[in-house]
C-alpha cells in the first residue's frame, strides 16, 4: 500500500507520486479501466449496425450528506448518468468519472464511493473506463463532487422524443415518488425527523430496455430527478404541446413521504428521485409496459398516473379526489420549507 495518509492533502492533486498513488489505489484498482492512457479506446458491435447512433451525456453530482440511507454520491453519479442515457433509448455502455476532492476528505470515504460506483456500474452493465481527479483547498469544495459522462448506443430506428407524445397517451411511472428527496431531507438531520425511508437511487438501463422491447412505439421517457415528477412532466408537456392530467388519488406515495411533506409544507411531486422515470405510451400498450416494468425490482411499483390531453397545451393539471383541479407548475426556485 503506497497510500499512507488517512486524508487527502494538496499533494494528492499535485501531479506527482502522491496523485498517482491515489488514482491507482483508490480508483483504478477498483474500476480496472481497459488502459491507463489519457483516453479510453472503445469499440462495440452495436455501433457497427447501420443506423445505430452514439448517445453522449454528462452530469455533475453534489449531495449533502454524501452517504445516506439507500445510497451515496458514487451510486447516484453512476445511476444518474446511466438513467440519462436510458431514458433517451440508449443502451448505456461506458462511463468517465471525474472527482473534485476537497483537501481533508477521508480516503476511506473515497474508497467507499469508488466501491459503490463499481458495484452499481457492474449491476447496470456499464464500465468506468476513464477519469480524472482534482484536489481543491479546504473550504473551496464540499467533500467530493463527482462528474460522470456516459456513452451509450441507440439502436437503429429508435427515436424517443417529447414531440411524439399524442393526446390520449398514458403516463406511467416505475414506482413510488419522492423517496430520495425525503431521505436526503431527513438525513440532513435538521428536522430531527427519523424515518425508515431509503433513497430510490437505482440504475434503470435494464428496465428501459425491457420497456422498449414491450412497446417499440414508446413515445418518450424522462427521469424525474431534480425538481421531481412535476418538473419532468412540465418539460415533456411544453415540448410536446400537449396538456397532462394527473389523478391525485392514484399517485404512488409512501405514507412516510406524505408525512415528511405535510410537516414541512413541501409537495412530493417536486421532491427529487434518483431511480424513477415517467414514460408516455399509446394507451393500447399500457398493460404491456406495466408488466415489463414490474418484471424488474426497480419497477415493482409501476402504475399509471395520468394521460396526455389536447386541452391546455404545455400545462400539467391534477384532478383531486373531490373533482377539483389544480395546476402543477414548474418550480420557480427550490422548495422552501414554510413557517407554520
Partner 1 sequence: MKYASEFRDPKAARALLAEIAATCDRIGATRDKPVHIMEICGGHTHAIFRYGLDRLTHPGIEFIHGPGCPVCVLPMARVDECVELAERPEVIFCTFGDAMRVPGHRKSLLQAKAAGADIRMVYSPLDALEIARRNPAREVVFFGLGFETTTPSTALSIQAAAREGLGNFSVFCNHITVPEPIKALLDDPDMVLDGFVGPGHVSMVIGTHPYDFIARDYGKPIVVAGFEPTDLLQSVLMVLRQIEAGRAEVENQYARVVPEHGNPVSLAAIADVYERRPSFEWRGLGEIDASGLRIRDAYRAFDAEAKFGIGYGAAQGRTVVPEAEGCACGAVMTGRMKPTACPQFGKGCTPDMPLGALMVSSEGACAAYWQYGGARGVAAR
Q: Write out the residues near partner 1 by the rule CB under 8 A.
A: 190-191, 255, 258-259, 262, 264-265, 315, 317, 320-327, 329, 332-333, 336-340
With beta carbons less than 8 A apart as the criterion, state whether 148 and 59 touch. yes
Of 216 and 321, which has the nearer Cβ to partner 1? 321
Q: Is the dihedral of CA 100, 95, 73, 184 positive or negative?
A: positive
Is the link from the previous residue into 175 a cis peptide, with omega within 30 of 0?
no
Helical packing angle, 286-294 and 205-214, nearest 10°: 150
With beta carbons less than 8 A apart as the criterion, state whether 251 and 188 touch. no
Of 34 and 337, which has the nearer Cβ to partner 1? 337
Of 68 and 270, which has the nearer Cβ to partner 1? 270
Minimum CB separation from partner 1 for residue 191, in Å? Answer: 5
Minimum CB separation from partner 1 for residue 140, in Å? Answer: 16
Distance CA 243, CA 317 (A): 8
Minimum CB separation from partner 1 for residue 186, in Å? Answer: 12
Minimum CB separation from partner 1 for residue 266, in Å? Answer: 9
Distance CA 222, CA 58 (A): 15
Minimum CB separation from partner 1 for residue 181, in Å? Answer: 15
With beta carbons less than 8 A apart as the criterion, state whether 293 and 211 touch. yes
DSSP state, 185? H
Minimum CB separation from partner 1 for residue 52, in Å? Answer: 41
Within a 13 Å sphere around the CA of 231, how many CA atoms are in the beta-carbon half? 19
Q: Is 282 exposed, middle or buried (0-12, 13-18, 19+ CB in 10 A)?
A: middle
Q: How, if at all, do strands 303-309 and 243-247 pair?
A: antiparallel
Of 43 and 339, which has the nearer Cβ to partner 1? 339
Of 304 and 317, which has the nearer Cβ to partner 1? 317
Of 134 and 188, which has the nearer Cβ to partner 1? 188
> N- to C-terminal Cα distance for the chain?
55
Minimum CB separation from partner 1 for residue 271, in Å? Answer: 15
Minimum CB separation from partner 1 for residue 332, in Å? Answer: 4
Apex CA 79: angle with CA 103 and CA 308, to 5°?
135
With beta carbons less than 8 A apart as the criterion, state whether 304 and 169 touch. no
Of 16 and 265, which has the nearer Cβ to partner 1? 265
Of 156 and 337, which has the nearer Cβ to partner 1? 337
List strands edge to edge, sheet with 127-136: 53-61, 144-154, 90-102, 127-136
Minimum CB separation from partner 1 for residue 259, in Å? Answer: 5
Distance CA 164, CA 236 (A): 10
Of 15 and 324, which has the nearer Cβ to partner 1? 324
Amino acid at each position: 500500500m503506497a497510500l499512507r495518509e488517512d486524508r487527502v492533502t494538496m499533494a494528492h492533486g499535485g501531479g506527482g507520486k502522491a496523485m498517482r498513488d491515489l488514482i491507482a489505489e483508490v480508483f483504478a484498482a477498483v474500476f480496472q479501466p481497459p488502459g491507463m492512457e489519457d483516453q479510453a479506446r472503445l469499440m462495440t458491435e452495436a455501433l457497427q449496425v447501420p443506423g445505430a447512433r452514439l448517445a453522449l451525456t454528462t452530469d455533475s453530482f453534489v449531495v449533502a450528506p454524501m452517504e445516506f440511507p439507500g445510497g451515496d454520491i458514487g451510486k447516484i453519479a453512476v445511476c444518474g448518468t446511466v438513467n440519462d442515457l436510458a431514458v433517451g433509448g440508449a443502451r448505456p455502455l461506458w462511463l468517465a468519472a471525474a472527482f473534485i476532492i476537497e483537501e481533508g476528505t477521508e480516503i476511506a470515504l473515497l474508497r467507499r464511493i469508488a466501491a459503490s460506483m463499481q458495484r452499481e456500474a457492474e449491476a447496470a452493465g456499464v464500465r468506468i473506463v476513464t477519469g480524472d481527479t482534482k484536489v481543491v483547498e479546504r473550504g473551496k469544495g464540499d467533500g467530493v463532487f463527482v462528474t460522470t459522462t456516459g456513452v451509450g448506443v441507440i439502436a437503429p430506428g429508435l427515436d424517443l422524443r417529447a414531440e411524439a407524445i399524442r393526446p390520449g397517451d398514458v403516463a406511467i411511472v416505475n414506482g413510488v415518488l419522492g423517496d430520495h428527496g425525503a431521505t436526503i431531507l431527513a438525513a440532513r438531520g435538521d428536522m430531527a425527523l427519523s424515518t425508515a425511508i431509503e433513497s430510490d437511487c437505482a440504475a434503470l438501463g435494464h428496465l428501459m430496455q425491457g420497456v422498449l422491447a414491450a412497446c417499440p412505439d414508446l413515445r418518450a421517457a424522462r427521469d424525474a430527478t431534480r425538481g421531481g415528477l412535476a418538473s419532468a412532466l412540465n418539460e415533456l408537456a411544453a415540448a410536446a404541446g400537449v396538456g397532462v392530467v394527473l389523478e391525485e388519488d392514484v399517485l404512488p406515495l409512501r405514507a412516510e413521504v406524505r408525512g415528511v411533506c405535510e410537516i414541512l409544507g413541501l409537495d412530493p411531486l417536486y421532491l427529487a428521485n434518483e431511480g424513477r422515470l415517467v414514460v408516455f405510451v399509446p394507451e393500447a400498450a399500457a398493460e404491456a409496459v406495466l408488466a415489463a416494468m414490474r418484471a424488474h425490482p426497480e419497477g415493482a411499483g409501476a402504475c399509471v398516473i395520468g394521460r396526455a390531453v389536447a386541452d391546455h397545451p404545455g400545462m400539467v393539471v391534477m384532478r383531486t379526489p373531490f373533482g377539483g383541479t389544480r395546476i402543477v407548475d414548474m418550480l420557480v426556485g427550490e422548495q422552501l420549507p414554510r413557517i407554520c
